[in-house]
Amino acid sequence: MNLLSSEPIVQDIVMAQKTGFTIIELSIAIALIGILSAIALPDIAVWMASYRLKGAVRMVRSNLYNAKMLSAKKARQCKVIVDTEENTCIIQEGDKSSGSKNWTDIESRSFSDYSGVTAEASANPIFNPRGTVSPTASIYLTDSNGVSIKITISIAGRIKVN
């Protein structure tokens, strides 16, 4: 090899022109991404419905625990109302420690953040200052796919998610 030869310079120029991806390689990569996205899209819709249902369950359970704690703290009855018409969950405070006649809204949360979730309750649980509940209740939350989760409130005030 001669030092004055131009062969190495020509090879460097040819190698510089061969780097990168061809249009065919890019087209194949984009096609594969499209196919994988089409396969995954239905699973995302199911996952989102499940995610919204779990969020709604956490919200209702949180309201139940808040009502239980407020009742003990203020020594008054607290009631949780699941309003199916307004699609809300409301905490109300009674005027007495038992046998309350007048109820005041303390907190109201909407199910609007959890689209596709519906709620219905067998009764509106009333928490007493000692932690007991009357009447016992079950709250059913259902997502747009028909999957349902049940929240049960026992007479002892235990809140259980099934």
The tokens of 31 are what? 């096609």
Q: Is residue 13 part of a domain?
A: no
Q: Cα 48 from chain centroid?
A: 8
Q: Is residue 20 part of a domain?
A: no
How would residue 16 be classed by pLDDT, with cut points 50, 70 and 90?
low
Which residues constitute the domain of residue 130? 36-161
- Does residue 43 have a pLDDT over 60? yes
pLDDT score at 39: 82
CA dihedral defined by 104, 88, 58, 147, rounded to 10 degrees?
150
Closest C-alpha to 118, from 81, 160, 83: 83
- Does residue 146 have a pLDDT over 60? yes
Q: What percent of the chain has pLDDT over 90?
A: 68
Q: What percent of the chain has pLDDT over 70?
A: 88
Q: Is residue 7 part of a domain?
A: no
| Rounded-to-integer distance, Cα 130 and Cα 69, Å | 10
Q: Is residue 61 part of a domain?
A: yes
How would residue 56 be classed by pLDDT, with cut points 50, 70 and 90?
very high
pLDDT score at 15: 58
Mean pLDDT value across residues 102-113? 92
How many separate domains does the chain show? 1
Q: Is residue 3 part of a domain?
A: no
Q: Is residue 94 part of a domain?
A: yes
Q: Residue with structure tokens 């959890």?
A: 114
Which residues, in sequence order, are CB contacts of 131 under 8 Å at separation 6+? Answer: 68, 71, 72, 156, 157
pLDDT score at 159: 95
Coil/strand/helix, residue 91? strand
Q: Is residue 18 part of a domain?
A: no
- Does residue 80 have a pLDDT over 60? yes
Q: Is residue 21 part of a domain?
A: no
Question: CATH number for the domain including 100?
Answer: 3.55.40.10
